[in-house]
A and B are shown apart, each in its own frame.
Chain A
Amino acid sequence: MRDHAPVLFELRDVSMDRGDRRVLDAVSAGIPAGATAIVGPSGAGKSTLLRLLNRLADPTRGEISYRGRALQEYDPLALRREVSLVPQLPALMEGTVGSNLEYAARLAARQPAAERCLRLAGLEPEFAARDVAKLSVGEQQRAMLARALVQEPAVLLLDEPTSALDHAARDAIEATLVRLRHELELSVVLVTHDPEQARRLSDWVVRFEDGRAAECGPQVEVLA
């Protein structure tokens, strides 16, 4: 485990079945505070892992702890507000971008800092008034990130956050993530299929293969 970085998540022998398919197979790994990348090919179980960390689902077997306590010991709603998941497919609620941000802020009992969060996600403040049905996929993806940021979570779980963005937008989001991490001491767990993005953004890597954690360690070693 990285020097001095406290363990956020600890997975012990975690398996997950979906129907008769094993999506995760006896995964044991630690995820420290800071920036961790979950890398691996499509279908390796990366997105399923994020769902488990946010408790959108529970593992079929094994145990996951967060800050030393089993996930089941937390109130699931409070946990999700603290460990916020931004899914790969944009799925905003009907209405405007602003109403989405206000709702998320209210859930987490925060002041809605829409303008600041939109800028952090690479969107102009005018986007608050835009109907979500009229946004491009890339804009929706950034609005989803802004919606998660207004909750001021302690951990951000990002599932391929730049998959629908062009290079310029991707660079802006990556710069935001680096800044958030340093300014707000926000921990990030990032699912990506792009090893270069993992190099740019993370200092700890868990590499998945066929539902198993094939490697887990410092980025410079795993992605060497």
Chain B
Amino acid sequence: MSTSIQLSLGQVAASLALVVLAAAISCWRRADLERDIVVATVRSFVQLTAIGFAIELIFETDSIWLVFALLAVMLIFGAFTARSRAVRVPGAFWPLLIALSSAGAATLGLVVALGVFEPTARNLVPVGGMVIGNAMTASAVALNRLGDEMVDSRARIEATLALGAPAREAAAPFVRRALRSGMITLVDSTKTTGLIFFPGTMVGMLLAGADPTDAVRLQLILLYALLGSVSIAALVATTLAQRNFFTPAQQLRELPEPG
């Protein structure tokens, strides 16, 4: 397949017209997002440019250790970012870091072991980035929901604990709902892929001139890998994080009030 595409900085700059449009809509409808849109635009430019140089360096050296180093940085930043969405979960960082690492390791390990991808820098970096990014979003959503559920359902959890139920069982219905909310977005978008929207990888390949059949096959592989990684991340994050709500004597810790 051909993947050659040439874009100038001028073309990137021209696309800023749509950012101006977004800021104008925000200003017009008083959504108060203009500042966030500017920050998001600048950050995306700086971050993607920096990662572009880093990836170029890694591709040139083709060092597996540099790949691991880059993925490790992504994992740590991913866990920090997801933690900011899980403010009601005590000690959320480590469950998130372990969740993202498990999801990344299991997914990348499996696709390499099954021979889907060669273990080269050119494959592992972009696939790893997608896997970790989606795992981060899923685990952040799951823990955000878990925090809300545990705070809002305090009376029910304590009433179950009061019967002598283990903390794990008292929290189980709320952990289940949190896990589901972490996974449901990707499951739903996977269902509608090709009907309502074209996923990014496929769009990118088509724009780069790839054969549509190749684009579809690669997209399917990535979608299935992402389903696996999102499930693992949400499962590990919720399972580990729910323990932090309880003391060793199986008492529900004091939590911040809802709202």
Contacts and interface: CB of A to CB of B under 8 A. Distances in A.
A3 interface: no
A151 interface: yes
Interface in B139-195: 155-156, 158-166, 173
A108 B164 CA distance: 8
B159 A58 contact: no
B155 A91 contact: yes
A208 to B, nearest CB: 21
B249 A104 contact: no
A76 B156 CA distance: 18
Secondary structure call for the A interface: mixed
A18 B254 contact: yes
Q: How large is the interface on A (under 10, 10 to 19, 20 to 34, 35 or more residues)?
A: 20 to 34
A51 B249 CA distance: 13
A20 to B, nearest CB: 13
A58 to B, nearest CB: 7
A77 B160 contact: no
B96 interface: no
Given A91-B158, A94-B173, A57 B164 contact: no
B212 to A, nearest CB: 47
A91 to B, nearest CB: 4
Interface in A114-159: 144, 147-148, 151
A56 B155 CA distance: 11
A130 to B, nearest CB: 18
Most buried by A among B161, B163, B165, B166: B163
Given A55-B249, A104-B163, A151-B163, A89 B155 contact: yes
Interface string A71-84: 01000111111001
B160 A93 contact: yes
Contacts, number: 63
B174 to A, nearest CB: 10
Given A87-B158, A93-B156, A56 B163 contact: no
Contacts of B166: 77
A18 B254 CA distance: 9
A58 B163 contact: no
A191 interface: no
Nearest to B163: A104
Contact of A77 (B158, B173, B250, B254): B250
Contact of A144 (B159, B161, B173): B159
B233 to A, nearest CB: 26
A55 B246 CA distance: 13
Contacts of A55: 249, 251
15 contacts: A54-B162, A55-B249, A55-B251, A58-B249, A76-B251, A77-B250, A80-B162, A84-B164, A86-B162, A87-B159, A87-B162, A91-B155, A91-B158, A92-B156, A92-B159
